Structure 1
């Protein structure tokens, strides 16, 4: 087989791996035309399209950066407002506590004053009732004592001055014996 290949190659003078010169020339002309067409028409359009995409991407990146800075500023502002609202709420709570304590103290003081006033009024009323009872008791005890003395003595004690003096002396003796008994 090697001999057949050698015999076939001896008869031919051209190499099948190297193309003919007219094929190389026409291929080079076609390549130059296609290269020229590609260089003048396709490449500028591709470059323009890539530049537009680059500009759009850069613009979007800028917009995203601006939006991110705005979002960060809004977040900082929101955080500051939230902190301010929390501190204001704490102040309001403290003020409410202080007001509640003050109102409670005022109510306690008012209740204490009302209790003292009611107690004083009750003591005055008790003292007035005691005095009225004492006066009533003196007059009844006096009339009973005069009636009793009239019955014991056997004569009428109609003289008011004598009767009054006698009743007063009797009541004074009674009070003296009552105070001596309590001691």
Structure 2
């Protein structure tokens, strides 16, 4: 008979063998394969869910970080502004204090110069009076002893010099 026309006994044996292999595969292998596929699918879905959850958590943390960073930048700007304003106030205070001290020093120096001028002028007048009296005595040939009269003449001379100085100034 050939391969296209099998004997009935070969066909029955082949059908029984096929049914046995089919039953073995259906009862043993297919549940294991389905269980393995289900485990892989649940692992994949769990991984996707965990990844999605991790991504949501990362986005939440990123949003918090951005909010904190924005708040920190705002606070830093406020601190810089406050420090700048404080610096301007301190600089103005220091300048005002410097001007006040300078004015005090100038006033004190002016008073001191006026006092020194008066003292120096008085000393010079006494020296000029003494030298003038001595020179007049040498010219006359005898010492002049009338100090009061010499002082009055010298005072008149100095008054004339002061008046001339005041008119030219």
Give unmatched runs, 5+ long, in structure 1: 1-13
Residue 160 of structure 2 is aligned to residue 169 of structure 1: no
Which residue, 111, 114, 120 being the options, matches 1:127? 114
Q: 2:127 aligns with which of 140, 146, 149?
A: 140
- 3-state SS in 2 of match to 1:25: helix
- Report if aligned partners of 1:150, 1:157 keep a CA contact under 8 Å in 2: yes
Flag the structure with more relative contact order, 1 or 2, with Cα contacts below 8 A and sequence separation at least 6: 1
Confirm or deny: 8 A CA contact 1:142 1:167 kept in the other structure.
yes
Partners of 2:31 and 2:99 lie apart in 1 by: 99
Q: What is the TM-score of this pair, normalised by structure 1?
A: 0.73
Distance 2:39 2:163 in 1: 126
Could you tell me how far apart the structure 2 residues matched to 1:66 and 1:18 are? 64
Q: Which range moves more in the overlay, 147-156 or 51-60?
A: 147-156
Distance 1:179 1:64 in 2: 101
SS of residue matched to 1:94: helix
Q: What's the counterpart of residue 34 of structure 1?
A: 21
Distance 1:177 1:25 in 2: 160
* SS at structure 1 position matched to 2:5: coil
What secondary structure is seen at the aligned counterpart in 2 of 1:19? coil
Query: Per the alignment, in what secondary structure is the counterpart of residue 111 of structure 1?
Result: helix
Q: CA RMSD, aligned part only?
A: 3.0
Mapped to 2, the partners of 1:55 and 1:153 lie a distance apart of: 141
Query: Quick one: distance in 2 between partners of 1:16 and 1:24?
Result: 11
Larger Rg: 1
What is the Cα deviation at residue 128 of structure 1?
Answer: 0.8
Between the aligned partners of 1:176 and 1:108, the Cα distance in structure 2 is: 42
Q: Does 1:48 align with 2:35?
A: yes
Gaps of 5+ in 2: none
Cα distance in 2 for residues equivalent to 1:80 and 1:111: 46
TM-score (norm 2): 0.78
1:33 Cα deviation from its structure 2 partner: 1.9
- 1:115-166 superposed Cα distances (whole Å, 9 cap, x missing partner): 2222112211110111101221232334445556667789987566655544
